Amino acid sequence: MPHDIRIVTEAELREVVRLDLETVDVVEAAFVALARGDVVMPPVMSMDLAAAHGEVDVKTAYIPGFDGFAIKVSPGFFDNPKLGLPSLNGLMILFSAKTGLVEAVFLDNGYLTDIRTAAAGAVAARHLAPADVTTAGVIGTGVQARLQIEAAHLVRPFERVLVWGRSPEKAAACAADLKERLEIEAEICTDPETLVRRSQLVVTTTPATEPVLKADWLHPELHITAMGSDQAGKQELEAACLAQADLYVADRVSQAEKLGELRGAIEGGAWAGGTPPELGAIVTGSATGRRDPRDVTIADLTGTGAQDTAIATHVAARLGDAGTLVRA
Amino acid sequence: MPHDIRIVTEAELREVVRLDLETVDVVEAAFVALARGDVVMPPVMSMDLAAAHGEVDVKTAYIPGFDGFAIKVSPGFFDNPKLGLPSLNGLMILFSAKTGLVEAVFLDNGYLTDIRTAAAGAVAARHLAPADVTTAGVIGTGVQARLQIEAAHLVRPFERVLVWGRSPEKAAACAADLKERLEIEAEICTDPETLVRRSQLVVTTTPATEPVLKADWLHPELHITAMGSDQAGKQELEAACLAQADLYVADRVSQAEKLGELRGAIEGGAWAGGTPPELGAIVTGSATGRRDPRDVTIADLTGTGAQDTAIATHVAARLGDAGTLVRA
């Protein structure tokens, strides 16, 4: 039985939704739903395509009370830059939560993933970072480096951002972008240790497979959000960081222990802390967050299907007549 | 970087591809690729939505040498008929196997799944059924009952089809459709035992959770394709059938032992046959199929992502300028 399906392009989506406090609240609601425990969220479907130097992840979640659920496909093909194409792509499909019919196809090339990922960083910063953040630091110089700092600035309006990356040129470009976009001071650091020691809020945004942030560098009044690791082979934080911090929080424990920083810490025997709290439990108050301004806190974000369902249903509600209707 | 994505509706897809011997060969090629062992096919992603009386399955596979790979989403929402909507829906997305970019979205409402599933039945019948089939029987009266018999008739042009279902009215309608479509005799049976005893080829196409076909009914010169079970709770064949048959073949053992008939047989202790051969190995000849006309053979089809990638890339090659281009 044919029905109307709305096809929306990246350009159209960029007109409808952006990284702002409303988006942060939408993603925070997804964490609250996860904490309530009634979300149906299967493990991430992951396909490693060594022959094509690529990988594909599929995420989804059904959140009771939401009109729809998303299925999000994220391909990463790492030889694409040689062809002048971005490595990361993908789309989201929104289904009716009542009938399972396809309602919309968001041909976003990963844009919605980018902003929902950054928004999760803001949720973590909002609930875990010290109240006073004057300096934030970012490790990594890509799209998420910019968006994570932009998102964190929404909830902790710091005066200064420090940037470190393996490429000084890219770090300089990232710092220049952030300075212009946020109208704050932006410096590049020559080493990550200096960046961490000077910051109250640090976001790691790399695809590192060897730690880029050492436990020795942790200091009072620090929150770290590690959002780069989303595959079993990745690790950004030295494993000792997790146990040494006053509080370690995962977006989803079942994912973090397979795909996030928790995996390396468990495998290396550096984690004996039992089941850590999830970010949603911190938001709802059912688990305790930062207890003292001098605490060190860590949030480990692997990215959840609940975030995808939350952003996709939010977009659908705001679309109006954007996009193209196809009767199929 | 915007690129053109082809959006194709069910009606357009029906013009491009149908259930014929070419489609059977396309799906057979997927089984051959699986047998070669170089396909990357993650476990089915499955989301059980008890609250909505629904379920969602996601399948995919990367087949080396194919230009693209598909991700297929199949929602089943079983209260839909009360709303005048079909239970099964869904879509397929075709990605470039080289860059991961979305190339096409097939808004097929499950049509491509329907024909690739029926085509797999034809592959099983081609390689496992007795050479001479005069009577075929189908248990179940839905879309797959019709398509499986149509597919089997392509490779074993039997003279007569027997139909059994719980609803005599639906069985009569199914038999009438098959009689008209295939120009053969079509009878309804009052019980499944009679149907099995009179047939050389039987296809079970139900969502049964209790067996609808008993081991006592097996007889020389019989092939059974069980294609209904694709979830852990489903079972069409009494577990003893598998061990009692001369040959049991799975489309994919790793799926059949979780989602197919093999699951029930293993759990009930009725299977001690070790790892059974897969259909692709029968096709390539690396495993032995039917040894004698009097053998009883069983094929257990759960549906593979490789079939989805095969049908989607086949469709893409035949599309021409069908569908709507969207620049996204």
Q: Phi first, then psi: what are they for A138, rounded to 5°?
A: -130, 135
User: Any idea which residue has 């875990």 for tokens?
Assistant: A128
* The length of chain A, given as a count of residues: 328
Taking one residue from A and the other from B, the number of pairs with CB-CB distance under 8 angstroms is: 150
pLDDT greater than 80 at residue A1: no
CA dihedral B184, B188, B193, B198 (to 10 degrees): -20
DSSP A190-202: SSHHHHHHH-SEE
DSSP B114-151: HHHHHHHHHHHHHHHS-S--SEEEEE--SHHHHHHHHH
Given an 8 Å threshold on Cβ–Cβ distance, is A85 in contact with B105?
A: no
Which ranges in chain A belong to alpha helices (H)? 10-16, 21-36, 111-128, 143-155, 168-182, 192-198, 240-244, 253-259, 261-267, 279-284, 305-318
CB interface of B with A, residues 238-257, below 8 Å: none
Q: Which residue type is seen at B274?
A: G
Mean pLDDT for B78-83 is 96
Query: Going by DSSP bridges, is the β-strand pair A324-327/A185-188 parallel, antiparallel, or unpaired?
Result: unpaired
Given pLDDT bands bounded at 50, 70 and 90, which one contains residue B197? very high
Please state, in angstroms and rounded to a whole number, the distance separating the CA atoms of residues A154 and A25.
Answer: 11
CB interface of A with B, residues 40-59, below 8 Å: 40, 42-43, 45-49, 51-52, 54, 56, 58
Given an 8 Å threshold on Cβ–Cβ distance, is A85 in contact with B95?
A: no
A68 touches chain B (CB under 8 A): no
Please state, in angstroms and rounded to a whole number, the distance separating the CA atoms of residues A276 and A262.
Answer: 9
- Among chain B residues, the shortest Cα distance to A44 is held by B45
Q: Which residue type is seen at B210?
A: E
Are A32 and A108 part of one and the same domain? Answer: yes
Average pLDDT, chain A: 97
Are A212 and A254 part of one and the same domain? Answer: yes
Mean pLDDT for B33-55 is 95
B12–chain A nearest CA distance, Å:
9
For chain B, what percent of residues have pLDDT higher than 70? 100
CATH assignment of the domain containing B81 = 3.30.1780.10
User: Any idea which residue has 């994919």 for tokens?
Assistant: B252
Query: Going by DSSP bridges, is the β-strand pair A247-250/A296-300 parallel, antiparallel, or unpaired?
Result: parallel
Query: What pLDDT is stored for residue B168 in this prediction?
Result: 97
Are B108 and B155 part of one and the same domain? Answer: no
Q: Phi first, then psi: what are they for B232, rounded to 5°?
A: -60, -25
For chain A, what percent of residues have pLDDT higher than 90? 97
Query: What pLDDT is stored for residue B246 in this prediction?
Result: 98
Q: Give tens-digit pLDDT for B145-190.
A: 999 999 999 999 999 999 999 999 999 999 999 999 999 999 999 9
Set of chain B residues whose Cβ sits within 8 Å of the Cβ of A77:
98-100
A11 touches chain B (CB under 8 A): yes
Are B144 and B287 part of one and the same domain? Answer: yes
Q: What's the longest Cα–Cα distance across chain B?
A: 62
Range of the domain at A88: 4-113+306-327
Are A149 and A238 part of one and the same domain? Answer: yes
Residue B111 CB partners (closer than 8 Å, separation 6+): B10, B13, B14
CATH assignment of the domain containing A183 = 3.40.50.720
Interface residue of A98, A111, A308, A325 to substitute, partner B, most B CBs within 10 Å: A98
Set of chain A residues whose Cβ sits within 8 Å of the Cβ of B73:
71, 93, 95
pLDDT greater than 80 at residue B1: no
Q: Which helix (H) or strand (E) holds B279?
A: helix B279-284
Please state, in angstroms and rounded to a whole number, the distance separating the CA atoms of residues A82 and A102.
Answer: 35
3-state SS assignment for residue B161: strand
B7 touches chain A (CB under 8 A): yes
Structure tokens at A286: 């059912």
| Chain center to CA of A265 | 20
Is the confidence metric ipTM above 0.85 for this complex? yes
* Eight-class DSSP state of B201: E
Mean pLDDT for A298-316 is 98
Query: Going by DSSP bridges, is the β-strand pair A185-188/B4-9 parallel, antiparallel, or unpaired?
Result: unpaired
Given pLDDT bands bounded at 50, 70 and 90, which one contains residue B117? very high
Of B71, B76, B328, the CB nearest to A58: B71
Given pLDDT bands bounded at 50, 70 and 90, which one contains residue A173? very high
A324 touches chain B (CB under 8 A): yes
Please state, in angstroms and rounded to a whole number, the distance separating the CA atoms of residues B130 and B38.
Answer: 31
B325 touches chain A (CB under 8 A): no
Sign of torsion, CA A233 A236 A239 A245?
negative
Query: What pLDDT is stored for residue A158 in this prediction?
Result: 98
Set of chain B residues whose Cβ sits within 8 Å of the Cβ of A1:
84-86, 109
Residue A226 CB partners (closer than 8 Å, separation 6+): A203, A204, A213, A236, A237, A260, A261, A298, A299, A300, A301
Of A11, A69, A99, the CB nearest to B85: A99
Query: What pLDDT is stored for residue A45 in this prediction?
Result: 97
The answer to whether residues B7 and A9 touch, using CB atoms and an 8 Å cutoff, is no
The answer to whether residues B49 and B179 touch, using CB atoms and an 8 Å cutoff, is no
Are A127 and A266 part of one and the same domain? Answer: yes
Please state, in angstroms and rounded to a whole number, the distance separating the CA atoms of residues A324 and A105.
Answer: 10
Q: Give tens-digit pLDDT for B4-33.
A: 999 999 999 999 999 999 999 999 999 999
Are B42 and B188 part of one and the same domain? Answer: no
A75 touches chain B (CB under 8 A): yes
Residue A153's CB: how many other CB atoms inside 10 A?
21
Query: What pLDDT is stored for residue B2 in this prediction?
Result: 85
Q: Which residue type is seen at A92?
A: M
Given an 8 Å threshold on Cβ–Cβ distance, is A42 in contact with B46?
A: yes
Query: What pLDDT is stored for residue A84 in this prediction?
Result: 95
Are B315 and B197 part of one and the same domain? Answer: no
User: Any idea which residue has 């991961």 for tokens?
Assistant: B100
A327 touches chain B (CB under 8 A): yes
Given pLDDT bands bounded at 50, 70 and 90, which one contains residue B273? confident
C-alpha to C-alpha distances, B192 to B162, B199, B214, nearest whole angstrom: 9, 11, 9
Strands ordered across the beta sheet of A4-9: A45-49, A54-61, A68-77, A91-96, A102-107, A4-9, A324-327
Given an 8 Å threshold on Cβ–Cβ distance, is A1 in contact with B46?
A: no
Mean pLDDT for A21-42 is 96
Please state, in angstroms and rounded to a whole number, the distance separating the CA atoms of residues B323 and A158.
Answer: 50
Structure tokens at B142: 């839905």
Average pLDDT, chain B: 97
Are B129 and B195 part of one and the same domain? Answer: yes
Given pLDDT bands bounded at 50, 70 and 90, which one contains residue A2? confident
Please state, in angstroms and rounded to a whole number, the distance separating the CA atoms of residues A213 and A206.
Answer: 11
Are B128 and B80 part of one and the same domain? Answer: no
Set of chain A residues whose Cβ sits within 8 Å of the Cβ of B80:
99-100
Q: Give tens-digit pLDDT for B256-269.
A: 999 999 999 999 89
Given an 8 Å threshold on Cβ–Cβ distance, is B47 in contact with A56?
A: no
**Whole-angstrom distance between the N-terminal and C-terminal Cα of chain B?**
8
C-alpha to C-alpha distances, A143 to A111, A113, A173, B112, B216, nearest whole angstrom: 10, 11, 11, 37, 64
Set of chain B residues whose Cβ sits within 8 Å of the Cβ of A108:
328
**Count of structural domains within chain A:** 2
Structure tokens at A274: 């039992």
Are A86 and A193 part of one and the same domain? Answer: no
Are A152 and A262 part of one and the same domain? Answer: yes
Given pLDDT bands bounded at 50, 70 and 90, which one contains residue A273? confident
Query: What pLDDT is stored for residue B184 in this prediction?
Result: 98
